[in-house]
Structure 1
Amino acid sequence: MDRIIFGTPCVDAVSSEVERANAKRVLVFASSSLNRGTQAVEELRLALGSRHVKTIDKFGSFADCKAATVLAADARADFIVAVGGGTIIDTAKIVALSIQSGFAKRRDEAQLVPDYDADLPLFEIENSPVRIRVVAVPTTLSSTAYSAQTAWLENSPQLTGPSFQIGRMPDVTVIDPEVTLHTPEKLWFGSGMGAIGQGISAILSPEGNPLVDGAALQGIRLTRLGLVELRRNPQDVDARRHCLYGAWLASFGMHTSMKFSIIHAIAGALKNNFGIPHHLSSGPLLPALLDHTLSETRDTQKLIGEQIGTRRMSAATGISRLLQKLGLPRRLSELGIDRSNLQIIARTTMTERYPLGQREKHDASDILKILDLAA
């Protein structure tokens, strides 16, 4: 990643980056709600002028990702602006990495990478290798705007389980709280709890270090402060800025090769088996993780508790109360998961192709204990 830009409006920052790269053919990836329901994307298109080639606003399936790759190759795109949440930014990274690798394009089938953590593309394309610059403008608090990990979570005939393409970060990330005013409240709050979860995972990791710990603790503090204030006033731009800065800092451990907690693999199993998105599953799993690891991480959890304002109670209780304050699910049962589902979730977690889960330290019975606490 070249830089993270903050304090500059999105349109101005993107225009400057396009000029800096001397880009001629720019694709815009944006959510359909942002593209069709607001003026934010239209303002960006107007600023790009004749350099704008096309806007894509259909995402979420394997077919959508493949179609975006084919379109980018056909359009000879040299720049992608991804305005949205994790799926949209991840798609931009996958498309850019696929085209950069210069494989032969196939319109009828996709050549998938069998090795999830290889630095390889998902699709084969025929154009000469071209490095497409990617600028991410996050509208949620997902870590993908600051990370080289790219998750693909979908059950399909072509791809089951998460696939990870390691080695492609956005070239630039633009932090602009004004663009996030259109983000649905539950998605914003849920992704905020996901950001707090990233910070907690980094701090609890046995491979942590003082730099990551310091960034993660500050990230947890800023994210929590911003979320609580936004519960009172959803239009508070400063609170949104605090959340965005917090998510950036909380994701700092993602820049390293440290292993994160098993709950990320559990979240993958919940998504693939029951369709529960990460921004909803993070909440119930976090208190369960903290309770499960309390005997080993008591002192560390005191530091976490201080950042979420719970000096007189456990960090797990503090997280649970924050979820309640934000109107988010606190138990898996609130997401339609009952105890009869826990065995299959535990078993499939062990097969999740998720490189950050510390599977080597857990077996299915251990994972089942975490699930039981979250149920």
Structure 2
Amino acid sequence: MAQQLHPDERDALLDIKKQLKDLPGSSFLSSWDFEREPCSGFSGIVCTIIGASSHVVMLNLGDGYAGSPGLTGTLSPRIGDLRLLQQLTLTAGSVRGELPSSIGENLGSSLQFLGISHNQLSGCIPASFASLTRLLVLDLSSNSLACAIPHEIALLPSLVALELSHNKLSGPIPDRFTSASMTHFDLGWNELSGEIPRSLPASLTYLSLKNNRLSGSMAPSLASLRALTTLDLSSNELTGAIPSLLWSSNPNLVSVQLQRNHLSGPVAIESPARMSRVDLSYNNLSGAIPPMLAFSENVFLNNNHFTGSVPKEFADGLLSANLRNLYLQHNFLTGFDLSPPDAALPAAALLCLQYNCLTPPSQSACPLNAGKLSSRPPHQCLSSYTP
């Protein structure tokens, strides 16, 4: 006979079920029949035996298969009574209301994984989450959480992944994160303001702060993230130059997305940037196009103030099919040397040179949003012209 669940935890599960309901097409809660022993018959529950009772160590609410409609209702504060809980997840659905503060108040010595994403949770992230000192993953993405990010979250010592994207979080990002093992950091698609933190974990491999209201210059500390493979700061209000150390001090970078900011000045790169994607479009960058970017696979430099001739390395990259997409439209470029001039680009290569101070070669094929004019008006190509 299976060991019986601790009575307090059985009562907690009763209240959790009371406040949730299957959406049409879901049957997750149908197995929660309290005529049976929860640890042996309930979907989404894993228990362990300690002493005379069983205790819930994993609670996965909702069917995990793709396309499941999930659950609706609210999260019971009694979740905090599952005091040995190590993993708590909630699949995509329509669960609303606030995050129970009891999760942080009662589960600090046990919880290691908290994934409550793609629902309709609102309110603030409870400050009590600061007690989750064993937490490895915090994923609250794709909800409607508001308020500022509690600075205590930044002090969680064991975090490996922090995923808070697609919410309504506002205010500044905490300026100091203490975990020495964090690799994934995603606060994109919020309403965060202020500057990029000056102290980020050196262990980061993925950093996304896109689609916020961040301002100021790019923090020099970004150059110290030598393990970083993906950097996305797009669609913010960043100003100033792109630090040259970003390219030389981050040897593992494969994707850099800085588009749709207010970055200015020249782009200084001294060695080949062999990346899958570099997007610096829709900024105020100027000067010559750096030839070292020609070694990347997809390069987007359109809608800037670049001048001069396009370095020959870019034509060579296109002809060899190592460079797949090259967007240079809406700049002030004066030449593009494709040799021979009628050379056919590989089918996989795409070049756009529309609206510059040159006549685009026949191989230039642009997206519809590049406009209908092939070249700039002559007066915009005079040295005295100020964009």
Establish whether TM, by shorter chain, passes 0.5: no
Greater relative CO (CA pairs within 8 A, separation 6+): 1
Q: Which has the larger radius of gyration?
A: 2
TM-score using structure 1 length:
0.28
